Each structure stands twice: as C-alpha cells, then as structure tokens.
Chain A
Amino acid sequence: MRKIITSLFPVLLLLITTNSALAQQRVIQGTVIDASSQKPLAGVNVQITGQRQSAVTSTDGTYRVTTDLSNGTLEFSYIGYETARIPLSSTNFDIGLNIASKDLGEVVVVAYGTSRKDNITGSISTINNKQIENRQVSSISKALEGQVPGLQSVSASGQPGTDATIRIRGIGSINASAAPLYVVDGSPYAGDINALNPNDIQSISVLKDAAASVLYGSRGANGVIIITTKNGRSGEKTAINLNFTQGATNRAVRDYDQVSTDDYFKLYWQALRNKNVANGLTPENAARNASATIVTDLGINPYGAAFPQPIGTDGQLVAGATPLWNDNWSDVLQRTGSRTQGDLSFSGGTDKNTYFISGGYLNDQGIAIESSFKRYNVRANIDAKVRSWLNTGISIAGSSTQQKYPQSEDSNTANIINFTRLVPSFYPYYKRKPDGSYELDENNEKIYDFGAYRPSAAIPRNNLAASLPLDKNDINRENLALRTYLEGVITENLKFRSTYSVDYINSNTHYYTNPSVGGGASYLGSVSKSNVRTVAQTWNNILTYDKQIGDHHINILGGQEYYDFNSANISGSRERFVLPGLYEPVAASQLNSFTGSSSNYRLLSFLGRAEYGYANRYLLSASLRTDGSSRFAPETRWGTFWSVGGSWKLAEEPFIKNSNIFNQLTLRASYGGQGNDNLGTYFAYQGLYTIANSLGQGGTLTSRLPTPELKWETNLNFNAGLDVAILKNRLAFSVEFFNRQSKDLLFTMPMALSTGYSGYDANIGSMKNTGIDVDIRTIPIRKGDFRWNLDLNFSHYRNKITELPTKENITSGNKLLRVGGSIYDFNIPEWAGVNPENGNPQWYLADANGNKTDQKTSEYGKAGLFIQGSSIPDLVGGINNTITYKGFDFSALLSFSIGGKVLDNDYIQLMHNGSNIGRAWSKEILNHWTPENTITDVPRLTTDNLNWTSASSRFLYSATYARLKNINIGYTLPEQTSNRIGIRKLRVFALAENVLTFYGHQGMDPEQTINGATYFRYPAIRTVSGGIQLAF
C-alpha cells in the first residue's frame, strides 16, 4: 500500500523524512495570562514549532505538552493576541500575551487553511467578531463598509434583509460579475448572505490579491471574502452567552422637500396659462381658461366648494382660500419601525471534542409599512478527535427568514417609497367632503381614498395605506449550510483533509393582491407563488505537508475540488378569488400562468500551493489551479490560474532588529492570474432559441448567436505592500499598491439593432484597476485601564479601460466605454442652462466629430453626448475609534466616500415643468423661468414635455458623503459584582447605526449603486438600540 502512495504522490513522498530516532520525552508546562489584565487566558494554542505536538490552555490558563526535543521553540497563538515564543531551552514557560495591535502576528484564515498574518505573502485584511457583533445590520455584507482598505461597499437599498454590493480593488469586469466570492468555513458559499447570523461569526478574511485568492481559480478574480464561524475551545468550561438588543428605526436622511399646496396651485396655473398662450389664446383668455380648468385637471379642489376657482386670473390665490387639509402621505406609509435581536450560544470542549451551539432571532422592521425582515437561526459546530490520526467535524447552520418586501425600487406605481414622493399632500388619504371634513362609513370610520380622480402622474386608483396591509409581498427562505470534514494525520507532517459541503436554499415567494380594495378589485384579486430550490455541493480533497527543517520551513498543499450547483424553480399565478380573506392559489378561479425551469453549473478543479520560508525572514509562495467549467464549450472550458508571491521581514534582520525601532517591517509582493467565469449565463457557447410558446402551440425565438470561442476573463494581479509597526506596535501601518489587469473581458460585441441582435458575447477588451490601500492603526493612549485605538483606512483606485472590441467607443446606457476612460463615465448631454430669452432648457451641441461646441439646442434629441465625470469615488475609507476605560467601552465608525457622481433620476420626477399633471413638485421648481426671473436653471412652466428632465449634467450630483455608520457605548459590571449574582459577565450598551450623514444634495440618500444610478430605492435606515449582554 505504501506503493500506492508513492505512485500517487512521489513529490510529496520525497519530502517525508523518516521518523527521527526516539529521544527522551519531557513534559513542559506553564501558564498563559493576558499581559495587561494579568488574567489567565483559556484556549491559547501552544505548539512546538514544526512539530505536531500541541496543547490548548485550560480555563485557568495552564497547559501541558510533551516533547522529545531539547531545542526548538514553543509558540503561543491566540486570535486577537500577538503570537509569542519561548525557546525550549528556557526554564520558565509562563508567559503573558499582548493584545495584538489589530492583526500583527494574528492567526488568520486563508484559502484552504490558516496562516499567521505575518507569514502571508499576499494581501489579506481581516475583521474580527468584535467589529461585527455590535452592528445593527441584518446582512453581514453591510457591516464591511469602512472597515477594510480596498473594499468598496455600497448599501443601495435600506429594505431590511437586503445585501450590500461589494467591490474589492476596483471593478474587475464590465459585463460579467464583479462581485467577490464568499467562502464560509472552508467551502464556497452559495447560500444567502443575510441568512448568516453576524453573532456566529468569528472572523472575516478579505483576500485581495492573486497570491491570496488564486486557489479559488476561476471564481477568485474579484476577490474572496472568507467567513469563519465560531467554535468552542478544548478544555474550556461551557460558556453561555446571551445577547439582547431592542431598538427603533427611522429614515437616515429626509426625503426631497416639496412645494406647498398653495405654491403647487399657483405654479400649475402658470403652466396651464403658458400652454394656452402657446396654443394661440390671448393672455386674458389664457389666464381665464387656466383658472377655469385647474381644478378639473388636478381632479380635486383642496380649497373646498366655497372656492370653485381657487386661483384667480391674476395667478394668485383667491382671497380667503386656504387648503382644508394637508395629507403628507409619508404619515401613513412610513413609520418608526422596531428592531429586536436576541442570541443565545453555548460553547465549550474537552481535549477530544469542541462545540459551539447557537440560536438567534431577529426582527427588523423597516421604515415603510409592511416591510420587515425576520430571521431564526440555529448553528452547531462540532469537532472531534476520533483517533489519534483522525479528526472529523461537522457544522450545520439552518435559518429561516421571512421578509416582507413591498415593491421598494423601480418606477412601478406600487413602489411604496416612491408613492410618498409622487403624490402631493393635497390628495387626501381619507375621503373628504367638499368642506374638508372626513366622509364616514356606516360604522363612523374614515374611508380610504383611492383617488380615481387623480391624474396618472399622481398614481390614481391606488392607496397603499389601504391595500398593502391586505396584500402579501412575502419572501420566505430556508437556508441550510452544512460543512463536514474528515482529516487524516498520515504522518506528523502530512495531513489529508476531505471536505464535503452543501448549501441549500428553499425560497418561496407569495405575492397576493387583495380582491376587496385597490387595483385588484376589478379582477377580484390575484396571487402568484414561486418556489426556487438551489443546492450547491462542494467536495474537496486536500493534502498538506508542513515541515520545519532547521531554518527552512516548507508547506505544500495539493488537491482537487468538485462543485455542483443546481437551481430549479416553479412559479404560477391565478386571479379571481371566490371570497376575500383567502390567500392561496387554490382559492382563485382563473389560472394565468404556470412555468418552471432548472439549470446546472459544475466546476472541476485541481489545485496546489507551495510555500517556503527561510529563517522566518524570507517567504516565497507559488500556487496553481486548473478549472474546468460547464459554462463553456468543451474546447475552451479548461483554464489554468497561478500566482507567485514573496515577502521579506526586514524587522527580523539582525541589523534592524538590533536598532529596536521596528516591531514590524515587512515588504511583500505578488503576481498572478485569476479567472472570472461568472458571465451571467450558464450556457455561454451555443446558438440558442429561447422558448416562446404562443397560444397553446410551441414557440421559439432567436436569443443568442453561437460563440464557441468564449472563455474566462482573466485578471493579472500585481500587489506590493509594506507593513510597518513602531513604538511597541502603537503605530502600525500597511501600504499596498495594486495593479489589476483584467483581460479577455466579456463584451457584448455590439451589433446594429437592425440585425435583430444588440450584440454577441466575445472575450475582447481589457481594463486596469490601479490603486493604493492604506491601513493605519494607532493606539494613541494605552495607560493603565485607559486604552484608545484609532484606526484609519482608505483606498483609492483608478479604473481604466485599455482595450475595447471595436474602434468606436461603446455606449452602455448613459455611460461611454472608451480606451483611457473608466467603466462608469457618464456620457450624457451637457446642460447649457435655461435660455434667458424664452425659458427653454438648453444643452450643448456637438460638432461632426462629437466634440462639444458653444452652440446650444433646446431640442434634447439633438444635444451632443459628452463625458461628464465618473461615478467612481476618488477615495473611500473609514475611521474607527475604540476607547475602553475600566468597565466602559466606546466605539464609533465613520465611513466616507469622496468624489464620484450620481445621476439623480429620483429627483427628476419632482422636477417636471408642468407636463406631469398632479405629480408632486420639488421646492427647486419655485425658481422656474419667468420673463422677470430669466437667470435660472429651471425652465419655464408649461404642460408640454420640454424633455428637460432627460438625463443631463443638470441632474448629476456629487456623490461625496460621510456617514457615521455606527456608535456603540457599553458598560461592563465589575466581575466581582456580577459574580455575586451568578453572572460571569454583564454588559449593558447602546448602539446606533447610520447615525449621521453628511452629504450635499438634499433628499437623495448618498449611498447609491456603484454605477451612480438611483432607482427609486428604499433609503438607508437609522437604528438606535439598547441592549444587554450576559455570560454565565
């Protein structure tokens, strides 16, 4: 049998040295304490370097380890503390560990394993549980903003349960996915990010360069986020932790200001009058007709029957006319929500087994009525040493989430966020009599007003306050994430680990429109249900060899991985309910649709990594991965990805070490090529006809042209970094420079629309992201019980397209892709102000070559398109402040984003020139052009559409903002006091999320999508909570 191994792994075998001769065993024991608090530390890993022997400290901080070596080093490592070493030749094995200045010497999770932070040649940032546990977010993806240099996180939607969009080191792709890969507990994660309970998370590693992430091959090009969940520690007494927070939510920023009812009527009267004049009426007739028709046009007279023509022919309010009501729709559609979170966990272990068991509950209500996110979580992480040579473990996490998600983006009239913006306050939400009093039904209740009389710009026949509570917009999802492994210790240096993982999601949506009130009444209500089941299975088998020979340290990893993803869905809808109060399709009489489909995606991979270290000063690493993907044609589906990296720990060089200036001084560099196969389709090579059945007969339609040559996108990634720590680690900083070259980019090679296609897929084009990440960690004060940590991180990148498929630039919506430009350069007409002569909007014209001229036009279709800046910020980052003093702790996180632009398409809805009758108006419209007010950038009012709200630089606003993301103040009862009541730890605290926002354009939440587009989205919400943390 040895022969099998030798034939399978000849290389590895060469490295297996014969067992050293038996020497005399000796026992080493000691105690580990926290150097500052002088309290024993439990769970510290104690390892003889290069050897298998290890131990873990027990609750009193003691440990015991046997060895046959007489010289060597004993290494003490513990997450959150600096790693310390004692030579075996020493006589005293007691030691005090220092809290790490964030991450120096810390053990971090890397691709397919763990490593000491200072032994990494690549670029990895970590976040520990302390930085996560006090965040009031329902998706862990929203907790990363401002915490990691090089990571850009944007929470475009504030709907509870939504995820943030994350980009690591720029935008890696134009048309394929630019999102990072999530890995949870060792395997790629295909579950919902919002299904993870942040309180279960021990640490998050963000892999940013090729050396760090190339082992994820074709899926790692956009960076990797590795999430590791908590576990118990051997020898730890069972710990019971209980956490509870309760809070309230409201809007983080106020919505756009609107004009008053009086102003609205006066403004709209002018629009009508001006249109009448343009139609050839005399000024007198024009004014008279405007006064006569304004109430008919708007469909309502909020001034009451006493003032049938509230606006006189002078355009002013008739004397005595005042609005009889002022119904701000946000009063009935928005609310102060509540947020409740509770978590309970048990952890502990013996020398053979460790466990972590947790349960969690979250109920996060949003600021819009009928929007909320509920989550129930359970997790069990269990590891067992079943034989001296065999370890096994299982991690099971289940969650059930219930999201109430009324339409809250898109221009759809059911959008609850937009509704309050579009419908002015003179349209009442309860029916009013002409005298302004409420109409009452037979039970003396107010009657909801659906506003059939409202013009279509004010969403007639709709009252979400009445219909939403009766409707359903439910998204119920069950997530099951299973991780299990078997680890064989073949020799003390050679380990084999086989991991099998399953991520399972069952998602069920239930949309129901009630048959009683609102739009559904005309067709007796409707219901649609859908179910999506996704199963992702990963099986990987990894051999690792780790050996210290004198000053040489060798670590080799090799293995194979298979990934299988299956998604299957069914959906159907029916309408016409037999009775109200029934919600399921069975109760609706008319079948409208039933459909379903499935897709499969598979990836087969082989991977390897070799690391070599000399004298703990020089480190080299090289990695290789080959992937075969089912997305591509058999001829092109295999791709190979690689990286090399090195680092030089100058601080360990005697000539620097002796100067005692640097605690750390490390130079790092890496280079490699990663892949991106996430092209947005699972079938990226065949010519396909989409199925389009028609009237009960089979139907097909051309959908994509064959592209047999299509393959991966490749990212060539260079990284160079310098890590410095001085003043006893009180000042540490890392600077990294990166150059990411994406090539073979997937492009839709544009075709003339008249060919019947807008384009075909091809790997043409390349793009470059170059930038710098800076991470500064300081401890300004560390004195006695007072400790103040101040961390700052920021990053800047420049995105530049270096090659395009065509000689011509490519227009992509309102962006222009061109060589030398960025992916998100706005290419829209340039606003040339309002013509002072006639009040018409103007844009600049282009000459024959497309260059801007001084000429202006008032016809939008003729306006030239010019580059107007990019949505990409110049600098993003965060400032993190932590202060602890005795029992008190305080932390604050400010995230910021400087530069970049947003095209505010939400705002333009409120900026029509009178053409959207009944639509609310922003206050800025008061500044419209008149013969008297000629110098303005709001045009004249008329009921014609002047197209002035079409995309132009007029509505491009600075995206610069800073947000106080999180504040956290806590007090921990002295241990003696809490012990008296049988509690090990008691902490009370107050938390706030999205506390303050500093930004420039009133009404627009500055966190919009990375490409700088608003989309009538749910704004960010502010949460203020109080809580209690108990440990037994």
Chain B
Amino acid sequence: MYNKIRNISLILTTILLLGSCKDVLDTEPTTAIPESEIYKNTANIQTVINGTWRYLNDTYFTFANPGYSAFMRTSDAMGNDVAVTTKYGYRDPYAFTELYNPAAYRVRSFWTLLYKVIDNANNVIAKVDAAEGTQESKDILKGQAKTLRAFAYLNLGSFYQFSYLKDKKALVAPIYTEPSTTSTKGNPRATLEELYNLVISDLSDASTLLASYNRPAAEKYKINKPVAQGLLARAYLQTGAWDLAAKAAEAASAGFPLMTTAAYQEGFNDLQNTEWIWGHLQTNEQSTASYTFHYLDVSSEGSYYYSFMADPFFKELFDQNDIRYKLFEWDGETGREGFLRYKKFKFKPNLIGDIVYMRSAEMLLIQAESFAREGKTDEAISALNKLRSARNATLYTTTQNKDLLSEILIERRKELWGEGFALSDIIRNQKSVERKAYIDNQGSPIKVTVTTPTGATKIVNGQGHRVIKFPDGTNFTANSRYYLFAIPQEEGQQNPNL
C-alpha cells in the first residue's frame, strides 16, 4: 500500500510541476512577421516596398484579374480598337456591363488592389524616418513609397471620375495619407483637384528623393526618378499642365532610346527592351501577371484565350510600310476564322512575359500632344515624327491637311494598343467610344481571306466588333457613366463618410 501510494504520488508530483510551465503557450507564426520587427531598420522596410510591388502585380483575384495587369486589359477592352471575343475574361467590360456595377467582383478587386498599395505606402512614408538606416536609404524608400502611392491615386483619378478638365471639383475617391489602424473610419471622397494635388506633390517629392538612386539595370521593375517623372507627365497631361507634362515626359525618357524595328516584333514581353522605362519582371516562380498574356497573345500555341483580337478598322489606320502593320494577320484556325490578330504581344517560350508599364514612346506622345495643345506645332510634329520614323511609318507633314492633334491621338492608339491607355484616353479627352460592326453598306459581313492550318486559303466572314452600343441600347456618347469604374458596394456600406 505504501509503495503504491509513493509511486503514484511521485508521478503526480512530476506532472503537476510540468503542468506549471506557462511559456509553452507563446508561439510565433512562420508565414508572417510581427509589425514591430518590420520598422526597426530600412533594410526591413525595403521588404514592404517589395511585398507591395508583388501584391500589386502578382495577386490573383480571379484568373481574369491577375493583379494590376487586369486594370490595363480592362481599359483596352472598353476602348475602340480591341474587338474582344466572347472568351472568358474581358467580354463583360467590353460590353460595358461590368465596371459600372458596384456589386461586380472585378470592381471590388480593383478597389482593394489600389487601396492596399496606398496603405502599405502610407506605412512606409510614416515610419521610415524613425527607423535605423542611412538618410540615403530612407530617401529612396520614401521616394519609392510616394511614387507607389501616387501611382494608385493616379489610377483612381483616371478611371473613377470624368476628366479633370471637365470638372476638377467632381468627387472621385477617398484620400488617405496616414497608416490605417483599427480606429480608422472611411474618408469622404475627395475632389479630382485634391487628388491630383496629392499625386503631383508626391511625385515631385519622389523625383527629389530618388535623385541619387541608381537603379540596377536588371531591375527595371524598381521605381527610380524617371519612373516618378513619367508618372508626373501623365498626371500633368490629365490636369492640362501641358508645358510641365512635356518637360516631365522628356526627363523620364532620357536614357531609354526607342526600340529597333526588329525589337517591335519580339512580343512586348521583355523588361530589357531599351525603351521600357518601367515594367514588371516575370520569373517561373513569380508569374501571376503573365496570365494577362493568355488574353493578349493571339498567336502562340500555349496562349489560352486569345481574346484580344484587333478591330479590322484599326488595321486601316496604318500604312503598309509601318512595321506595326506587319503584326496584323487574319486568323485561319478553326473556331477563330476571320478574326484579326494583332501579334504585338507574345509569350516567352516558357509561357511567361514581362509586363510593360511605361515606355519612351508614350513619353514622346505625351510631349507631342502637350506641344500640340500648347500650340507649339513644330515641336509637336518633331516629337510625333520621331516616333513615326522609328516605326517606319509615313511622317506627318502639314501638307497632308490632317489635324495634328487628331493624328497624335490616333498615333497613341496605334502605338499603345493593348497597354492600358484606351479607356483612360477616352475619358481624359472626353471622347466617345467609336466602334462599328465589320459589315458592308448592305449590312453583309465583309469577306476576308484566311490561311487554314493545312495551308489552304479560304474566304470567310471577317470578325470585328460585336458590341457597338451601350447595354441600354443607346449609342456611345462622350462622358458616359458606362465608362467609369464603380466604387464597390462594400465601400458604400462600410464607409459612412463616402
């Protein structure tokens, strides 16, 4: 009896002693880092910039919404020159039935994407000064964060309200400049003027802060001074500050010479292209953004949707010597017969592709447009022709008796097709979407000759625009509510100040 009690008591005592260790209840996550660790020094803060960039580009909301590239595709799908097929992805934006719907998932995705970037940038901007690190490293981080923030607000300004030049007092979207906490209530919508003031001030600051930053050549996805200048040029273009726009555009493109005619045929998938100022690199491991090529790429075997076909009338804007004209081809594949490919975008062989954000060509066009609007005709023609000659296109002369500004805006469509400017240009310039069906005067489909996979030629109906009116049956007009991206339903529900 005594032994029995002793043995059991020993076990009990041991157990109760073990049971009193309470430190075992402290555990740490392995996939996340406590906030307190992040803002200790600038090396750690750099990770927030990197993580935010990844989020902006490589977050799947759906396969049709792979990060920011979905913004650009949506803009193009809602414009004049892409005849989006009925394939999955962008047929609803193309038909203007999606983005004005506050309940649409894409609407929520876009909003979430931009504001998450803004909050991360706000955290860096607010906390970098107190961290350990050199002043130079702090300046670079702050400059990059301000550029990211401005980039997000610039998108809000471009797609969520009509042109600044129409009504700069129009309310657009809430502005936040401080990190959000659990006590942050939603802010009211700011005016376009307030929003662009912030964008321009952030980008001006960034241009200063990034002055000494020397971006490694292989890392054109990082933000440096030319990137900030290029965005500044876009912002000035939006707000009608023509002179400043032209200057900023010129500054941005310095060191990024226009690509060769051969490089134009290479598929717009390589960050190392000489004229790319800013873009997003894709690797086998990080390739979400590349999914956008499944829509854009209409000629590679591995492309899945090939839904961004060109409007046949778009082809007619080019002259035949233009190197870009050679990218057109009537599709002869079964199921795609009669569609017009514009083979600008192509996957790399391993089915990834870098994403173009900003090129010198755009900067040239900003200069041309700004000069033209300012009345500096010679400078405008010079800038336009610099681009045209690089593309082997017929140069503009005053004797052609064509409106210079219109020519420049058409050149924008031709040069920047598929790069995300279609809808934002339509809104900015207060134009109407222009689309017509590919039929003749009698209403019959226009016939085109295609080459089938067997090599035989065949005459089929040419396929062009399918949607040539708004969903309510009315004709396209300028400044239509169908052009604007809606603020998501949830924002309306949770933001009392909206």
Contacts and interface: CB of A to CB of B under 8 A. Distances in A.
Interface of A: 1-2, 4-5, 8, 275, 278-282, 285, 288-289, 292-293, 296-297, 299, 389-390, 452-457, 460-461, 486, 488, 490, 496, 498, 519, 522-523, 541, 560, 562, 564, 575-576, 590-593, 597-602, 604, 606, 628-630, 634, 637, 682-683, 686-707, 749-758, 760, 762, 808, 811, 859-861, 915-917, 943-945, 947, 950
Interface in B313-358: 333-338, 350-351
A699 B35 contact: no
A133 to B, nearest CB: 38
Contact of A279 (B13, B104, B468): B468
Contact of A755 (B19, B89, B184, B467): B184
Nearest to B95: A944
A752 B285 contact: no
A760 B182 CA distance: 7
A523 B351 contact: yes
B180 A861 contact: no
Contacts of A564: 24
Contacts, number: 310
Contacts of B36: 687
Contacts of B494: 750-753
Contact of A754 (B26, B173, B463, B466): B173
B150 interface: no
B31 A522 contact: no
Given A498-B11, A700-B51, A811-B493, A756 B180 contact: yes
Contacts of A602: 24-25, 27
Interface string B186-203: 110000000000000000
Interface in B206-234: 219, 221
A752 B7 CA distance: 62
Contacts of A860: 101, 103
Given A1-B5, A754-B187, A945-B97, A688 B29 contact: yes
**Range class of the B interface residue count:** 35 or more
Given A299-B334, A689-B35, A293 B461 contact: yes
Nearest to A600: B27
Given A292-B461, A460-B335, A701-B52, 10 more contacts: A389-B4, A452-B334, A456-B305, A592-B287, A593-B285, A691-B31, A695-B219, A754-B174, A944-B467, A945-B92
B30 A688 contact: no
Given A591-B284, A689-B35, A755 B5 contact: no
B185 A700 contact: no
A811 B490 contact: yes
Given A689-B35, A752-B498, A944-B97, A591 B285 contact: yes
B483 to A, nearest CB: 15
Most chain B CB atoms below 10 A, which of A281, A285, A292, A698: A698
Chain A: interface secondary structure? Answer: mixed
B12 A541 contact: yes
A299 B13 CA distance: 79
Nearest to B280: A695
Contacts of A629: 25
Nearest to A460: B335
Most chain A CB atoms below 10 A, which of B123, B287, B334: B334
B22 interface: yes
Contact of A683 (B32, B285, B466): B32
Interface string B174-185: 101000111011
A460 B303 CA distance: 12
A699 B53 CA distance: 9
B351 A705 contact: no
A755 B186 contact: yes
A1 B6 contact: yes
B471 A754 contact: no
A604 B469 contact: no
Contact of A285 (B5, B173, B444): B444
Contacts of B33: 688-689, 691, 700
B473 interface: yes
Interface string B21-58: 01011111111111110100000101110111111001
Q: Which 8 A-B pairs have the closest CB atoms?
A: A756-B119, A453-B335, A752-B186, A699-B51, A522-B302, A752-B495, A694-B54, A285-B443
A562 B17 CA distance: 13
A753 B50 contact: no
A810 to B, nearest CB: 8
Interface of B: 2, 4-9, 11-13, 15-16, 18-19, 22, 24-36, 38, 44, 46-48, 50-55, 58, 86-89, 91-92, 95, 97, 100-104, 108, 111-112, 115-116, 118-120, 122-123, 173-174, 176, 180-182, 184-187, 219, 221, 281, 283-287, 301-302, 304-305, 307, 333-338, 350-351, 437, 439, 442-445, 460-461, 463, 466-469, 471-473, 486, 488-491, 493-495, 498
A282 to B, nearest CB: 7
Given A705-B181, A750-B494, A811-B493, A700 B437 contact: no
Contact of A943 (B123, B287, B466): B466
A751 B184 contact: yes
Contacts of B5: 1-2, 5, 490
A517 to B, nearest CB: 14
Contacts of A293: 445, 461
A445 to B, nearest CB: 22
A10 B91 CA distance: 77
Contacts of A457: 86, 88
A296 B338 contact: yes
B95 A945 contact: yes
B308 to A, nearest CB: 13
A452 B50 contact: no
A694 B51 contact: yes
Nearest to A574: B284
17 contacts: A5-B5, A292-B445, A389-B4, A455-B87, A456-B89, A592-B284, A599-B27, A630-B26, A695-B50, A695-B221, A699-B50, A706-B35, A706-B182, A753-B490, A754-B174, A754-B187, A756-B116
A454 B333 CA distance: 12
A693 B54 contact: yes
A288 B219 CA distance: 55
A452 B30 contact: no
Nearest to A917: B86
A861 B100 contact: yes
A935 B279 CA distance: 55
B461 A296 contact: yes
Most chain B CB atoms below 10 A, which of A461, A601, A682, A690: A690
A602 B18 CA distance: 14
Given A683-B29, A705-B181, A488 B8 contact: yes
Given A452-B335, A688-B32, A861-B486, A590 B284 contact: yes
Contacts of B46: 697-698
Given A686-B35, A701-B52, A1 B12 contact: no
A96 to B, nearest CB: 39
